[in-house]
Amino acid sequence: MTSQTARKTAPLDGFGGEILTPDSPGYEAARSVWNAMIDRRPALIARCRDARDVVRAVTHAAAEGLPVAIKGGGHNVAGHAVCDGGVMIDLGLMRAVQVDPDRRIAAVEGGALWRDVDRATQPHGLATPGGLISDTGVAGLTLSGGIGWLRARHGLSIDNLVSAQVVTADGRLLETSADQNPDLLWALKGGGGNFGVVTRFDFALHPFGPEVMFAAPIYAVEDGPGPIRAWRDFLAQHGDRVGSLCEFSTAGGEDFAWEHWGKRVFTLLCVYNGDAAEGEALLAPLREQGELVADFCGRMSYCEVQEAFDTLMPAGAFRCYWKARYLSDLPDGMIDLAMQYALDAPSDNSLSSLWNFGGATARVPAEATAFGDRSMGWMYSLDGVWSDARDDAANIAWSRGGWERSAVHGQHGRAYLNFPGHGEDAEALSGA
């Protein structure tokens, strides 16, 4: 179909947003997503201003028999936010957040980023669990679970989703909550972007911040696994108050002394889910596990923590392939594997991480949400990140290789849908 027929079709009459076709200014920017490997060209991009625009766009796509892709923050590494030849429903103009501090609820439009939520809620001393990077979309991250700093005390993002507004594939605008269409709300909690276009998320808020305790002691991989083992044992006692990951990376840039540049390192990243002074004392031993390459521990505002890593990987700057595996436990053998694997990364920009669970996340019954079972103790993620297309095969092989080799410690058939590779594995689609 041509862009002209798309413009003339009746259901888009009254559309209040922007319609972009391949010859429109702004089309190239609107179709781009976070992963520079993704290069798809929708026939039409519907930049919606409100839920009625979404209804018009969905109805139009159905009438034309066109596939639909929904763009929230555009961060999905498989590029699910954009499709070839179909209708891309771009929610980038719908980022409003309304906070009701008395009811402790934030009403968040479907195209908001986590930055929008944090900046609106923190002036009230309130927060809801998001991710670790502030320019990730609320929608995609939430619909497949949402693993962030506050998971220890307040669970995943979906565990705080109390109601939502959804446009279904047949063009109906539905409210969903514990009382209205509860099955749909259940499905949104971990079922991915498969049940309609969410135009509004309502999240429960919790008192937290503005000052929080952030820990980030950095050790060299060549100095051995001692600090990671100590961190694992520490979290066995304090995992209900500490959202954490051990992240492997390559030292470089102004934050590191030059003699460490190029060294493979790991950072014991933690946010204390409680009072900052209490957290400072509790997390102190994690800084005393050997010779530090660098140390970024300190009290800071929650918004600063949320935005601290945004510049690490700007949108569109890198080619990416990310995989993750849930682990039942974190034995020494898995720590050794992760350390060796970090040394083998073909790109200095790649990251790999061990994430803890437990706490409030683990207390949600499997049948309560479409996310399913919560018995995993840990997750191992491999973020292949590189620049040159000629290095695609080596970097994809590295991410997949670590994912495959960690299977021996994995929970059979379990995958986190937000780190789906390029969507080629059946288990990444099932999520069960």
Q: Which is nearer to ligand FAD, 80 or 232 (CB)?
A: 80
Residues with Cβ within 8 Å of 186's Cβ and at least 6 positions away in sequence, in order, are: 368, 369, 370
Residue from 75, 200, 241, 374 touching ligand FAD (CB under 6 A): that is 75
Q: Is residue 97 a contact point for ligand FAD (CB under 6 A)? A: no
3-class SS at 232? helix
C-beta of 271 vs 293, nearer to ligand FAD: 271
Distances (CA, A) of 85 to 63, 78, 171, 235, 262: 15, 17, 20, 48, 43
CA distances in angstroms from 294 to 243, 257, 268, 304, listed in the order given? 21, 8, 11, 19
Of 158-187, which residues contact ligand FAD (CB under 6 A)? none
Single out the residue of 147, 158, 246, 251 in contact with ligand FAD (rule: CB under 6 A). Answer: 147
Residue with Cβ nearer ligand FAD (192 or 402): 192
Nearer to ligand FAD, 411 or 418 (CB): 418
Q: Is 140 in the site for ligand FAD (CB under 6 A)?
A: yes
Give the x/- contact pattern for ligand FAD in 312-351, rule: CB under 6 A.
-x--------------------------------------
Question: CA angle at residue 369 from 366 to 374, to 5 degrees?
Answer: 35
Phi, psi of 339 (to 5 degrees): -70, -45
CB count, 10 Å around CB of 321? 25
Residue pointed to by tokens 């050790």: 219
Cα separation, 163 vs 106, in Å, equals 10
Site for ligand FAD in 4-63 (CB under 6 A): 33-34
DSSP state of 266: E
Please identify which residue in 91, 215, 221, 286 interacts with ligand FAD, judged by CB under 6 A: 91
**243 contacts ligand FAD (rule: CB under 6 A):** no
Task: Tell which one of 38, 46, 61, 139 touches ligand FAD (CB under 6 A).
Answer: 139
Q: Which distant-in-sequence residues (6+ apart) come within 8 Å of 227 by Cβ?
A: 217, 219, 266, 268, 286, 289, 290
Q: Which of 136, 165, 267, 352 binds ligand FAD (CB under 6 A)?
A: 136
Q: Is 428 in the site for ligand FAD (CB under 6 A)?
A: no
- Quote the CA–CA distance of 308 and 123 in Å, as a whole number: 19
Stretch that binds ligand FAD, among 133-141, 172-180, 204-212, 424-432 (CB under 6 A): 133-141
In the chain, DSSP finds a helix count (H) and a strand count (E) of: 14, 20
Residue with tokens 């997503």: 33
Pick from 154, 418, 421, 422 the residue near ligand FAD by CB under 6 A. 418
Residue among 72, 239, 377, 410 that touches ligand FAD (CB under 6 A): 72
Question: In sequence order, what DSSP letters do the residues of 75-98 get, joined into one string?
Answer: --TT-TT--SSSEEEE-TT---EE
Which residue in the set 30, 69, 216, 286 belongs to the binding site for ligand FAD (CB under 6 A)? 69
- In sign, the C-alpha dihedral spanning 245, 264, 326, 428 is positive
Q: Cβ closer to ligand FAD: 132 or 204?
A: 132
Stretch near ligand FAD under the rule CB under 6 A, chosen from 68-76, 202-210, 215-223, 396-404: 68-76
Residues recorded for the chain:
432
Nearest distance from residue 140's CB to ligand FAD, in Å? 2
- Binding interface with ligand FAD (CB under 6 A): 33-34, 69-77, 80-81, 91, 110, 131-133, 136-137, 139-141, 143, 145-148, 193, 197-198, 313, 418
